[in-house]
């Protein structure tokens, strides 16, 4: 299996506060990895460094061997990285279809067209339909995104992330705030997509059921550093992890 | 349910009504010079220019989420550039004035846009206001070039000509009216295509969530700059058309009040495609009617605007689309079922 993403000594300070403490990691394509850790451990900050929302104070990031440390976000998306957000980041006044159309148009290089209608590109339309069917929102395609239920908004959030056809996709708490039924739906979706092998997923999650049922590899973060890293069962037995994060009953 | 009238072989459906109204309006505008005098033509041209300005404001405000107090600046740049080109030419040509001035507006909006678009919300509003008032001061003080406070006079209403091909005399206001009307209609049609295109969708994405737009693989800065330049061109076009009509020009065109009129028109009409156009017509007519009765026209106009904005949230067209039309539809379909 080939390496898809590598961090070399990634460090991020917010003022004096050390948020990410020299993290070096390597991710292989096709391995579904979960990152867990207490609040403030630096999980989302790490994703922000990988996706270009933040610039590291020190260290380097490589995507498929290419240095992306200083690349702006939109260029990283073009390279094949994508993400969903923990705090809902959809386009509330656009329809569900338009939400997915935007990344799809960018994917096909049609986003600068100013004359033809956004619906007129058939290859884009086909891809949008495929993505919306994947996230089970095809029936709701003409609904304004801001009027969806919470669970459906989370699905749309994933739909937008997937519409840029990423090779690597970060999911920041994909099941947060969902009811059990919706949670199962999302779990099944991630499993199906991961098994197709087109996209490598790295997931931040608080729900341990989700983590244990999905992941091939588990990374535990605490205070900006990697506490444990390995196969799920192996990390689960780690004494330090139990004390700090998982609690005795696990 | 949607069949209202039956002509032989042609059924007028409800979907056709807006289209039919539009055709009727365009035909009316085309025959106006046959029936009305110069004053009405002048009024319609002023309304069309306000429409273009309002579209410019709404592209930034309604579609991209940026409130600009500086669209009067591009209006003034277009107007002054056109005036200087026409006055500087030995045998002035309207095409040269038009395209030359638009090119200057494009360059100016690219430079000013580059400086402005790093800011959003109130900061963007303030920086565009500042640039606009800086231009106002420049136009007033630079007497040698702009004529200062007195402005420029005797700007020729040059003929519309391509040498050896055709030449149309623009001196009669009725002829110039067609020039303004046709260019405005083209500009409005292009605007319609633009806001329904992928680029228009990107603009709306910026309005809803800038952060997410960059995560769809679209550059936020480039898209916003493009929007600023297009909006500048619409305001500039209004100014370019204004100059040969008036044949005089004073720095007032770049005053911030020029920038706020289209904002009020957008608020009255609503931030939809048609809202700024309807709002411009209403604003201009209300203002003109009140102006006949009192020199304190701003007071009643202000009261009317406050009432309109407070009662019609989302503007006139927004209220129509969300409230009134669905109600009429439900009544119509209800009757048919009985």
Beta bridge partners of B166: B162
Interface of B with A in 133-162 (CB under 8 A): none
CA gap A189, A211 in Å, rounded: 14
Beta bridge partners of A23: A10
pLDDT at residue B167 in the model: 80
**In chain B, how many H helices and how many E strands?**
15, 4
Q: Are A26 and A9 in contact (CB under 8 A)?
A: no
| pLDDT at residue A43 is higher than 90 | no
Q: How confident is the model at residue B3 (pLDDT cuts 50, 70, 90)?
A: very low
Using only C-alpha atoms, chain B has a radius of gyration, in whole angstroms, of 21
pLDDT at residue B338 in the model: 46
pLDDT at residue A106 in the model: 87
pLDDT at residue B73 in the model: 93
Nearest to A118 among B201, B215, B220 (CB): B201
CA gap A209, A207 in Å, rounded: 6
Pairing of strands B10-13, B3-7: antiparallel
Task: Tell which residue, B291, B289, B264, B290, has the closest CA to residue B279.
Answer: B264
Say if B322 is an interface residue toward chain A (CB within 8 Å): no
CA gap B208, B230 in Å, rounded: 20
Contact A98 B211 (CB under 8 A): no
Nearest to A90 among B197, B200, B209 (CB): B209
Contact A117 B197 (CB under 8 A): yes
Q: List CB contacts (< 8 A) between B196 and chain A.
A: 117-118
Helix (H) or strand (E) holding A135, with range, is: none
Interval B180-199: pLDDT, tens: 999 999 999 999 999 999 99
Pairing of strands A200-204, A33-36: parallel
Residue range A84-100: mean pLDDT, rounded: 88
What ipTM does this complex have?
0.84
CA gap B92, B100 in Å, rounded: 12
Helix, strand or coil for residue A45?
helix
The residues, any chain, with a CB within 8 Å of residue A130's CB and separated by 6 or more, are none
Nearest to A114 among B197, B207, B218 (CB): B197
Query: By mean pLDDT, which of A40-54, B93-107, B151-165 is the weakest?
Result: B151-165
Q: How far is B82 from chain A (nearest CA, A)?
A: 27
Contact A91 B208 (CB under 8 A): yes
pLDDT at residue B107 in the model: 96
Interval B276-317: pLDDT, tens: 998 999 888 888 888 888 788 888 888 888 888 788 777 888
Q: List CB contacts (< 8 A) between B200 and chain A.
A: 114, 118
Contact A117 B196 (CB under 8 A): yes
Interval A120-170: pLDDT, tens: 888 888 888 888 888 888 888 888 988 888 888 888 988 999 998 898 899
Task: Tell which residue, A147, A177, A250, has the closest CA to residue B322.
Answer: A147
Write out B217-275 in H/E/C secondary structure.
Answer: CCCHHHHHHHHHHHHHHHHHHHHHHHHHHHCCECHHHHCHHHHHHHHHHHHHHCCCCCH
DSSP state letter for A67: E
Q: What per-residue string of b and e applies to B205-238 under the rule 16 or more CB within 10 Å gives b? A: bbbbbbebbbbbbbbbeebbbbbbbbbbbbbbbb
Contact A94 B201 (CB under 8 A): yes
Q: How confident is the model at residue B110 (pLDDT cuts 50, 70, 90)?
A: very high
CA gap B148, B140 in Å, rounded: 4
Helix, strand or coil for residue A238?
coil
Helix, strand or coil for residue A201?
strand
Take residue A206 and report the two structure tokens written for it. 């608080």
First to last CA, chain B: 12
pTM flag (> 0.95): no
Nearest to B217 among A53, A77, A118 (CB): A77
Q: How confident is the model at residue A246 (pLDDT cuts 50, 70, 90)?
A: low
CA gap B257, A14 in Å, rounded: 44
pLDDT at residue B210 in the model: 86
Nearest to B199 among A78, A101, A111 (CB): A111
More confident residue, A67 or B159: A67
Interval B221-240: pLDDT, tens: 999 999 999 999 999 999 99
Residue range B128-157: mean pLDDT, rounded: 85
Picking from A118, A124, A145 by the largest number of B CB atoms within 10 A of its own CB, the best residue to mutate is A118
Interval B82-101: pLDDT, tens: 999 988 888 888 888 899 99
Longest dimension (CA), chain A: 62
Say if B200 is an interface residue toward chain A (CB within 8 Å): yes
Q: How far is A34 from chain B (nearest CA, A)?
A: 21
């Amino acid at each position: 299996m080939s390496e898809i993403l590598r961090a070399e000594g990634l460090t991020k300070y917010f003022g004096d506060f050390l948020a990410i403490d020299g993290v070096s990691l390597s991710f292989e394509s096709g391995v579904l990895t979960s990152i867990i850790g207490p609040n403030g451990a630096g999980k989302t900050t790490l994703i922000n460094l990988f996706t270009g929302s933040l610039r590291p104070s020190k260290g380097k990031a490589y995507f498929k061997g290419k240095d992306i440390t200083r690349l702006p976000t939109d260029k990283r998306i073009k390279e094949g990285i994508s993400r969903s957000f923990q705090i809902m980041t959809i386009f509330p006044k656009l329809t569900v279809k338009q939400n997915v159309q935007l990344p799809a148009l960018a994917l096909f290089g049609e986003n600068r067209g100013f004359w033809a209608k956004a619906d007129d590109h058939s290859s884009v339309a086909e891809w949008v339909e495929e993505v919306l069917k994947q996230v089970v929102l095809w029936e709701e395609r003409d609904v304004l995104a801001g009027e969806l239920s919470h669970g459906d908004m989370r699905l749309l959030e994933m739909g937008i992330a997937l519409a840029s056809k990423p090779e690597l996709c970060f999911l920041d708490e994909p099941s947060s705030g969902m009811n059990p039924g919706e949670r199962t739906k999302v779990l099944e979706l991630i499993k199906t997509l991961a098994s197709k092998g087109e996209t490598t997923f790295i997931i931040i999650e608080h729900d341990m059921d989700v983590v244990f049922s999905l992941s091939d590899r588990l990374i535990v973060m605490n205070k900006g550093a990697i506490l444990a890293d390995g196969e799920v069962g192996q990390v689960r037995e780690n004494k330090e992890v139990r004390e700090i994060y998982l609690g005795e009953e696990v | 349910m949607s069949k209202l009238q039956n002509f032989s072989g042609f059924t007028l459906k409800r979907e056709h009504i807006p289209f039919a109204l539009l055709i009727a309006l365009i035909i009316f505008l085309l025959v106006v010079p046959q029936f009305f005098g110069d004053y009405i033509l002048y009024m319609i041209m002023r309304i069309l220019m306000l429409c273009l300005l309002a579209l410019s404001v709404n592209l930034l405000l309604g579609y991209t989420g940026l409130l600009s107090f500086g669209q009067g600046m591009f209006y003034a740049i277009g107007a002054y550039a056109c005036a200087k080109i026409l006055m500087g030419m030995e045998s002035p040509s309207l095409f040269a004035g038009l395209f030359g001035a638009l090119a200057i507006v494009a360059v100016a909006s690219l430079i000013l846009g580059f400086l402005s678009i790093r800011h959003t919300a109130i900061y963007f509003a303030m920086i565009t206001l500042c640039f606009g008032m800086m231009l106002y001061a420049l136009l007033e003080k630079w007497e040698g070039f702009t004529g200062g406070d007195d402005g420029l006079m005797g700007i020729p209403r040059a003929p519309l000509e391509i040498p050896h091909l055709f030449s149309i005399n623009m001196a009669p206001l009725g002829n110039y009216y067609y020039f303004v009307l046709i260019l405005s209609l083209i500009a409005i049609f292009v605007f319609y295509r633009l806001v329904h295109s992928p680029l228009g969708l990107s603009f709306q994405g910026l309005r809803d969530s800038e952060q997410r737009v960059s995560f769809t693989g679209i550059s936020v800065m480039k898209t916003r700059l493009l929007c600023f330049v297009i909006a500048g061109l619409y305001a500039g076009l209004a100014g370019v058309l204004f100059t040969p009509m008036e044949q005089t020009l004073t720095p007032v065109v770049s005053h911030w009040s020029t920038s706020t009129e289209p904002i009020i028109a957008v608020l009255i009409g609503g931030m939809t495609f048609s809202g700024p156009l309807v709002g411009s017509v209403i604003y201009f007519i209300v203002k003109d009617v009140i102006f006949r009765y009192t020199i304190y026209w701003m007071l009643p106009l202000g009261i009317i605007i406050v009432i309109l904005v407070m009662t019609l949230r989302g503007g006139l067209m927004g209220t129509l689309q969300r409230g009134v039309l669905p109600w009429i539809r439900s009544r119509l379909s209800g009757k048919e079922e009985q």
